[in-house]
Structure 1
């Protein structure tokens, strides 16, 4: 959005102070009341092709904004107004001066916040949550970036209603192969991970995760793999904070442990009352300016090398704007003008205008969102159009152009238009090899998808050498145990099976399964997929007793990890039933088929 834009004839945007996955935050002036405010502008909503979806989204936005505006508590950010201007939804809020907890942790360097600050934050947030929960309001996305500590010591919770709105837009949720919502996993409650009912007690669990991190310097489950983090939340009791930091008060330790109970019923009904019991009466925050603390010299764990500090204590609305990169969200100014108008702005300085590039970036991300929603026809149309415009604006060899061309071909594969997808992916792989290099991760990604298409077209003789080349390239670039190297080996094993070379397929599947179990964990979905491939190979070799034992173990593990009605768990029941039929145990097979049908019917019920 260009500076000095006047929203709704009232709010003068003055300075960009934050940018995130859903839009931008501006320091602004309310011309009607002559006061400074913060204006949160959400990303452009989309095109007329999605009008029915947009109507629902606008109504949800109005409902959530009204709820947020009705909250009146010193520990909750005040919402003054909301509306829509030129297709941009916006919220007008009080202007906060201070730092969010993510920024405080980064300023502190590797390590926790001072104990007295942690206790004050715990007291104030507990009181604010008690108030919002009494109003029947659940935050759903409590994390360090959504909690502000002002310069006078006051602590405020931000972004009530934004998490649910983000889910509707489709920007904050990605699905893994297990069908699990993935955002920032360090602060998700067990019930959020399981996809079951979420209420105020979920906020308390997330609150406990936040306190654990600011009290000890690390989240309760500080693991490198998102799946392992989620399994930790669900199954593992965290170490008490005092084991990591003995100087923490016993009452604070007990408070955090109580919030982190796995079973929602075991968490406190009123966090504020428990805080008063364990921490003492709330203290008035001191009216002092916050100053950065000296950095601790203790090194970070090895797995954090190369990671940005925001990977854990971070969120969508940081007040510090980092340098733009491909994963940072918006790359320029866009809000306040219609995309169709921006697309025709003249270039400046002999190249495309920043506004035009930002519009293309926004449309590219809209295409990704359509794909996540399973709307692949629309995603393909968007990516194809963006690719054409990026060629005109940036040239056919620009990395962003190559990305759009790849995404358009990938959408064709998801539409099962295998021949077209194969041609597009081959072009993308060749172009990336020329521009980025033959061992660049993006090049190898495109080549892997070429292998998938060849397999779907029955061209296994071409797919096999491609996977073998991929294994060599991935091993050289990333190491033999890297998940992507193992993924290429998995593709090779499946191709060997399709060629009828089942002894070799079994050996490859067994190797990948063991490596994935070591690298990713025995409960990781990819490990379980490899477990199943071992069983499939055993079956094709006529070793049905061994195959049955393996299929049963996979089914048990998937039901434990994913749930009995998850599609992968149901597939495993069918696998087991097929194996039983081969062994002449037809009655047991029929019972399993009946169970699958009943679970599917149950899952389909509203």
Structure 2
């Protein structure tokens, strides 16, 4: 294909006119019809790329073609043809003679566009969106670069690359995953950022951001830090447009602020409603239309320190770029290579086989093209991780890391960024020891190249501490967390989000060391700080409040724990939805607290409802459904309904054994609950058999001195005592006491 530059013996590629993360756009000539067209080509991922992810990309591309080809409106780019040629998927579109809004702003030296043009663009885009929304299509990535103004004044929406058919939920969930925010940060709606339900009103919000920018010269949250931009969208009302540019008409200011409402319900009903408002406003009359909701003004966006990173729910997202030109730091591509260029270059096997890279003096300077390809593959690995394909993401990052190390050196920031992601995927796939080695390697490299207090160095050390905790090495984790926290407080300040995240992790680790009062005080302080800075209902605030509740429970302060869990459950239900897994987890803990307080009737009612909700969301064999059923059974026992409790425990145990395995901790907990029920029903001989099975499994898996193994032997001794076998029981009690006295106390 690179030799002939001809696709399907019909489309001859002439000039490369655009490049993005998914592929390239070429000016081409349709040899059959003698007309010029634009051809978009999907970039191949190479032989090392995971095939399942490649299939997802291909499916998404074909979806784009079918969606776009079905649209027939003067305000939407026309698609003529699509197909696949020599492994490359292509889309043939009309060739547009004009400039996108990003280019128009650049042409105008970032000054806003003339008011009549702004209003005309708003009306035309609203008309086009009204049509696409009626077809059930949501664009999801509306931004200045995706809106073209042609030479004759016509405005067209381009690139439905992540559009979705609203009625085809199954397809969308396979492509984007649950809770994955897709789009460009400066133009994303609050519901996109939080991973919530997205419909046509999300496009209206994005359009509001675009109109704000072309009308004032800057987007509503004009910040270079991605975390600050996203928090602005979620939590801060934009300043009225006329405070930036007094000559804007009042109706237009009101319309854009309505588009930028934080909740979809406060925005215009649809694009048709929006267009009517604009048409009426252009006549100079006051529009007699129902309001979309009250727009509340708030103070400007608070100052955010440079380098402030994103919250956990937008990990690895960058700001992208506003309507200000090409990506910084990326040289213009060399168009002489033709369509495939670097895509068809063979992989350097030295980098993939693990052979040592050449010494620095012999390392050739990598071309900008090659670095761009590696950056795109790195992004593909991040996308795989966001989709939950951690094994496949790890393969991508390992391949990219090897090539980056060969091209750039082992301590180059890009190489270390790939190695950091390798550690992250290892951690998420249960390979904690391997992840620890990778994070330690990254931390040492970043310390050499960036310094010990650099945010990236501290991020690697903090992940290493997290993995140490996963390995049960809580004292070592505590030391690392404490050192990182001191550095973060010194270099970033006590209220920086990364500082607070480290303090949260340290509080969590303190509770695992048995230092419950210290853990409680620190978690309470972090929750207060996050509430003040991010809001009481922010996910980070609620995670810490959840930890406060957990520690209160371990301290036996169950009334306070119950109140805290109820606050978390209510807030999560409001912001994430009643069926979100985090909401359901908080409800489960509310049930635990009620049971501990002797309010088992209330706990039983809660767990019955929770079992129904978990079954509907995850199915009857889902581990969380079974956990809710376990809680239900425990509270049946507390109400002395032991026959029902035993039946429930046996059912849950059988399913857990089939789904999780006979030695899984949850299965053993259920088996113990079976023994408890047998004992309360006076069937002590049967109970003894079950208790011994649990004790033997825990000793084999955890060791005889583990607290859970000791508790199981204690259960066995109690059972022997109930059977009148006091001598055996006394001997077993002595063995348990000896093992406990030999354990080291938790460090303080």
Cα shift at 1:451: 0.2
CA contact 1:115–1:248 (8 Å) conserved in 2: yes
**1:583 is aligned to 2:587:** no
CA contact 2:140–2:182 (8 Å) conserved in 1: no
Say if 1:172 and 1:15 are closer, same or farther in 2 by CA, change over 3 A.
Answer: farther
CA contact 2:76–2:128 (8 Å) conserved in 1: yes
**1:277 is aligned to 2:293:** no
Match of 1:342 among 340, 343, 346: 346
Say if 1:424 and 1:63 are closer, same or farther in 2 by CA, change over 3 A.
Answer: closer
**1:508 is aligned to 2:510:** no
Say if 1:197 and 1:174 are closer, same or farther in 2 by CA, change over 3 A.
Answer: closer
Cα shift at 1:243: 6.6
**1:552 is aligned to 2:566:** yes
**1:494 is aligned to 2:499:** no
Cα shift at 1:131: 3.8
* RMSD (Å) for aligned C-alpha atoms: 4.3
Superposition map of 1:245-284 within 5 A: 245-253=245-253, 255-256=255-256, 262-263=264-265, 267-268=269-270, 270-271=272-273, 272-280=275-283
CA contact 2:21–2:376 (8 Å) conserved in 1: no
**Other-structure match for 1:539:** 553
Match of 1:472 among 486, 491, 507: 486
Task: Please list every run of 5 or more consecutive structure 2 residues that lacks an aligned counterpart in the other structure.
Answer: 285-299, 309-316, 351-357, 621-748
**Other-structure match for 1:287:** none
In 1, distance between residues paired with 2:440 and 2:337? 34
Match of 1:421 among 410, 425, 435: 435
For this pair of structures, how many residues does the alignment match?
A: 577
In 2, distance between residues paired with 1:339 and 1:169? 28
In 2, distance between residues paired with 1:6 and 1:64? 22
Cα shift at 1:564: 1.5
**1:144 is aligned to 2:149:** no
**Other-structure match for 1:391:** 405
CA contact 1:493–1:509 (8 Å) conserved in 2: yes
In 2, distance between residues paired with 1:508 and 1:139? 44
Cα shift at 1:60: 5.0
Cα shift at 1:589: 1.7
**1:322 is aligned to 2:336:** no
Say if 1:108 and 1:547 are closer, same or farther in 2 by CA, change over 3 A.
Answer: farther
- What do the CA deviations read for 1:29-75 (whole angstroms, capped 9, x no partner)? 44444544333222325659855665565455335324423434332
Cα shift at 1:356: 5.2
Cα shift at 1:509: 0.9
Task: State the secondary structure of the residue aligned to 1:181.
Answer: coil
Using the size of structure 1 for normalisation, the TM-score is: 0.81
Task: State the secondary structure of the residue aligned to 1:37.
Answer: strand
Say if 1:256 and 1:230 are closer, same or farther in 2 by CA, change over 3 A.
Answer: closer
**1:113 is aligned to 2:118:** no
**1:574 is aligned to 2:588:** yes
Say if 1:355 and 1:470 are closer, same or farther in 2 by CA, change over 3 A.
Answer: same
CA contact 1:505–1:537 (8 Å) conserved in 2: yes
Out of 254-263 and 543-552, give the one that drifted further: 254-263
- What do the CA deviations read for 1:215-265 (whole angstroms, capped 9, x no partner)? 345556678635534535xxx887765576553334434544665673289
CA contact 2:130–2:271 (8 Å) conserved in 1: no
**1:65 is aligned to 2:68:** no
**1:519 is aligned to 2:533:** yes
In 1, distance between residues paired with 2:540 and 2:333? 28
Superposition map of 1:229-248 within 5 A: 229-232=232-235, 241=241, 245-248=245-248
Say if 1:18 and 1:533 are closer, same or farther in 2 by CA, change over 3 A.
Answer: same
- What do the CA deviations read for 1:243-293 (whole angstroms, capped 9, x no partner)? 765533344345446656732896147244444333249xxxxxxxxxxxx
Task: Please list every run of 5 or more consecutive structure 1 residues that lacks an aligned counterpart in the other structure.
Answer: 282-298
CA contact 1:535–1:551 (8 Å) conserved in 2: yes
Relative contact order (C-alpha < 8 Å, sep 6+): which is higher? 1
Task: State the secondary structure of the residue aligned to 2:120.
Answer: helix
In 2, distance between residues paired with 1:184 and 1:129? 18
In 1, distance between residues paired with 2:106 and 2:488? 34
In 1, distance between residues paired with 2:211 and 2:461? 44
CA contact 1:258–1:267 (8 Å) conserved in 2: no
Out of 350-359 and 14-23, give the one that drifted further: 350-359
Out of 37-46 and 440-449, give the one that drifted further: 37-46
Using the size of structure 2 for normalisation, the TM-score is: 0.67
In 2, distance between residues paired with 1:147 and 1:572? 43
Say if 1:591 and 1:213 are closer, same or farther in 2 by CA, change over 3 A.
Answer: farther
Superposition map of 1:296-335 within 5 A: 320-324=325-329
In 1, distance between residues paired with 2:162 and 2:181? 16
Cα shift at 1:529: 1.1
Larger radius of gyration: 2
Match of 1:603 among 614, 617, 633: 617
Task: State the secondary structure of the residue aligned to 1:603.
Answer: helix
In 2, distance between residues paired with 1:231 and 1:546? 30
In 2, distance between residues paired with 1:95 and 1:537? 62
Match of 1:376 among 380, 390, 414: 390
In 2, distance between residues paired with 1:185 and 1:174? 19
In 2, distance between residues paired with 1:597 and 1:376? 29
Cα shift at 1:462: 0.8
- What do the CA deviations read for 1:469-521 (whole angstroms, capped 9, x no partner)? 10122223322221111111112111111111112111211221222223323
Say if 1:59 and 1:392 are closer, same or farther in 2 by CA, change over 3 A.
Answer: closer
**1:81 is aligned to 2:86:** no
CA contact 2:137–2:163 (8 Å) conserved in 1: no
Task: State the secondary structure of the residue aligned to 2:156.
Answer: strand
In 1, distance between residues paired with 2:576 and 2:333? 31
